[in-house]
Structure 1
Amino acid sequence: MELSRNTSPASLQMGSPNNLELTAMRPSAPLSNRLQYAQFFTLLLLEAGHFINLTSKTPSSMATLRRPFICISPQAMWTKANRIMCLLKRSLYGLKQAPRAWNTRFASYAKSLGFKQSSSDNSLFVLSSGADLAYLLLYVDDIVLTASSTALLNRLISALSSEFEMSDQGPLHHFLGITVKRNDSGLLLHQQKYAADILLRANMSNCNPCLTPVDTKQKLSADDSPPVSDPTMYRSLAGALQYLTFTRPDLSFAVQQICLFMHDPRENHLNALKRILRYVKGTISYGIKMTRSTSLSITAYSDADWAGCPSTRRSTSGYCVYIGYNLISWSSKRQDTIFRSSAEAEYRGVANAVAETTWLRNLLIELKINVTRAINRRLLR
């Protein structure tokens, strides 16, 4: 039996030839993380040359699996004599092994072109040969490519197109839901369309704007109000706001607070979420600006409150990291354990900031960028 590209993964059952216990195939997709976006921002900041957005038309189903699987066809295709079975050698959409198979195939070809896969993030490929320098960032079938010269850029595009069916989207203007706008002073990254979609989903497109995203005088508690009527909608909106923080560091703390209660959301948590949405309404065009900087020093600021959560008495720590004058990475997170002094909470916050700056320093070294200095500063109140 031959499988077409349009075969639905949900209609098949999968199993290994060495293990005939068949299990239903579960769809899976790679998840974005903070490091991926910090890396993306860094690539934009450095702006080594021309940024090109490529979209691969070669599906992940064209990747060869390291180990074949046995497929049982849908019951409607069975005959009275036997059940139709087939041996799957290439991946299908939704197969758990599909992302790894596609990444392995792409990485092996990129290495044949002279690229070296980054040890900081497997989705980054760096080509360095004499005066030639190129960066390639791969996310599923979306590719951001930049090179030190137009000739090198065209050569790489031609080589990739000969191996994979691709479409050249031209200069980078949109990537993973982030819009990139160029001006004389640099680049502006924003998610205005995505923010408008969140407001529409929450039926708050015409709400009154709010000046701040959170009430600093009132702290959220776990059970000081009745449960919400639709917890699924609460979780959906909270998760959507998490993705919005990739270009909105001003929302990080407020969104972190409402995400702490997704397991059992209450009315006061929903009111806090609606306040964030009202703030987004008034600042929907906000984003993060990237400019060229003469300095490549890494500066990190960290801070932590002590026993700030009224329910668990845990502390919340946060940091932000700059390269030159550009904000690259930020985080706001409740700490895992309870500390007996503010000094312990502050040290944990500093440790998180140092870990992030260390990762960024290693990334810059792989990008062949010399880091002049690294500074960690604690915010004083």
Structure 2
Amino acid sequence: MPSSTVHLKEQVFCQQPTGFVDPDRPDAVCLLDRSLYGLRQAPRAWFERFAAFIRTLGFTATRSDSSLFTLRRGHDLVYLLLYVDDIVITGSSAALIQNIVNKLRAEFAVKDMGDLRFFLGIDVRRSKEGFYLSQARYANDVLERAGMASYKAAATPIDAKGKLDATGPAVADATSYRQLAGALQYLTVTRPDIAFAVQQVCLHMHDPREPHLALLKRILRYVRGTTSHGLLLRASTDFNITAYSDADWAGCPATRRSTSGFCVFLGDALISWSSKRQAMVSRSSAEAEYRALVNAAAECIWLRQLLGELHCSINKATLAFCDNISGGIHVGQSSAPQTNQAH
């Protein structure tokens, strides 16, 4: 869907294009009334036009995600996700989806690619068990870029003492380090098993050292042997959100800040996870644990709001399990040992 058909609301001027310069007025500039590819205003103008059109079809923009739209017509539901000019549509009625595609095709240069198989570097495989999401092709591209496609695979992405300080010789090519670390960040979209290790190498992107590069290469060697790993999303009779959080206390050797981690399940499907260094120093392990629990709770609140806007309301309270070693307040006792259960 080209953005050249999108009208601009503000005044934008550009130089006369090469080969089309007016010989009588070579210093004149062009006033645009439609956006051009590569124009800074083009993405916003395109999104505004697309969003305005699909609202005429009955879609409603969600507050939880500005690129996600929902349509409810009777008992039928349709979800539309927009990323630049890539669209994913799903719903409960094939006839309604086809009708929407036909209307989009009449308004924009839309090409129907059929069932979802590849989207933003993510391979989607459908089976009787559910949807399997992986980034095998993307992982192989990252390994090729790093020149490690033929390296021996590592059994784990990080050792037991994975926290690195900021000392050591500086790396020869800091730009390459940052590029590979950023590429691994996107790989964590379907690979929660490397989230913590990638978080550690990303902490030192501003000033990478040789120990950080060694960890980066170890992660790549681990990815080398696990390129087919991914996530399996399957239907479940248990439609409840459950979160698990944990934190180390003053684990960062350089700043003495703690690292929070959580994962969130919808039924038995893992749908969200995070590993992040806390913004400030915690005075006790209890404080570090509660900061981690707050992050998990905020994610659960957002997910509940998102599911509500998708017309999939959850009636039961969300359970959040956290470490109990610090001896915090018992909101509710869980069946697992040494854990607190918060509602």
Normalising by structure 1, we get a TM-score of 0.82
Larger mean Cα displacement after TM superposition, 66-75 or 304-313:
66-75
User: Equivalences for 1:340-379 in 2 at 5 Å?
Assistant: 340-373=283-316, 374-379=318-323
Q: Which runs of 5+ in 1 are unaligned?
A: 1-57
Identity across the alignment (%): 56
Q: Does 1:316 align with 2:259?
A: yes
Secondary structure of the 1:143 match is: strand
8 Å CA contact retained: 1:296, 1:372: no
What letter matches 1:196 in structure 2?
Answer: N
- 1:186 corresponds in structure 2 to 130
Q: Are 1:136 and 2:93 matched, yes or no?
A: no
Shift of 1:318: 1.0
State how far apart, in whole Å, the 2-side matches of 1:185 and 1:278 are.
Answer: 30
Structure 2: which amino acid aligns with 1:111?
A: R
Worse-superposed segment, 125-134 or 212-221: 212-221
Which residue is 1:296 aligned to? 239
The farther-off stretch of 58-67 and 283-292 is: 58-67
Aligned length, in residue pairs: 323
Name the Cα RMSD after superposition.
1.5
- Post-superposition CA distance 1:235-291 (Å, at most 9, x none): 110000000000000010000000010111111000000000110011111000001
Q: Does structure 2 conserve the Cα–Cα contact (< 8 Å) formed by 1:63 and 1:91?
A: yes
Q: Which among 181, 197, 200 is matched to residue 254 of structure 1?
A: 197
CA distance in 1, matches of 2:213, 2:228: 24
Secondary structure of 1:138 counterpart: strand
- Deviations 1:298-334, CA, capped at 9 Å, x for gaps: 1011111111000011110011111100000111000
Partner of 2:338: none
- AA in 2 matched with 1:295: D
**1:100-125 deviation per Cα after TM superposition (whole angstroms, max 9, x unaligned):** 11111011111100100111111001
Deviations 1:124-158 (A, max 9, x none): 01001211211000101111101211211111111
What is the DSSP-based 3-state SS (H/G/I as helix, E as strand, rest coil) of the residue aligned with 1:303?
strand
Q: How much has 1:68 moved relative to structure 2?
A: 2.1
User: Any conservation in 2 of the 1:180–1:187 contact (CA below 8 Å)?
Assistant: yes
Distance 2:179 2:302 in 1: 31
- For the pair 1:107 / 2:51, whether they are aligned, the reply is yes
Counterpart contact for 2:2–2:109, Cα < 8 Å: no
Aligned to 2:331: none
With the length of structure 2 as denominator, give the TM-score of the two structures: 0.91
Match of 2:221 among 259, 278, 284: 278
- DSSP-derived class of the 1:165 partner: coil
* 2:216 corresponds to 1:240: no
Q: In structure 2, the residue corresponding to 1:167 is in which secondary structure?
A: coil
- Give, in whole Å, the separation in 2 of the partners of 1:249 and 1:321: 11
The answer for the alignment partner of 1:40 in structure 2 is none
Given residue 290 of structure 1, which amino acid in structure 2 is its aligned partner? L
Name the residue aligned to 1:160: 104
Task: Kindly state the Cα deviation for residue 90 of structure 1 after the two structures are TM-superposed.
Answer: 1.2
SS at match of 2:36: coil
Give the letter for the 1:338 counterpart: V
- Give the deviation of 1:187 after TM superposition: 1.0
* In 2: Cα distance, 1:133 partner to 1:84 partner: 52
Q: Which runs of 4+ in 1 moved over 6 A?
A: none
Question: After alignment, is 94-103 or 257-266 more displaced?
Answer: 94-103
Kindly provide the amino acid, as one letter, of the partner of residue 181 in structure 1. Answer: R
Q: Which of these residues, 151, 156, 162, is aligned with residue 95 of structure 2?
A: 151
Tell me by how many angstroms 1:219 deviates: 2.3
Q: Counterpart of 1:131 in structure 2: which amino acid?
A: H
Report the CA distance between 1:93 and its aligned residue: 2.1
Q: Does 1:203 align with 2:129?
A: no
Which of 178, 201, 211 is residue 268 of structure 1 equivalent to?
A: 211
Q: Which runs of 5+ in 2 are unaligned?
A: 326-343
* CA positional deviation for 1:84: 2.1
* Match of residue 121 from structure 1: 65
SS in 2 for 1:120: coil
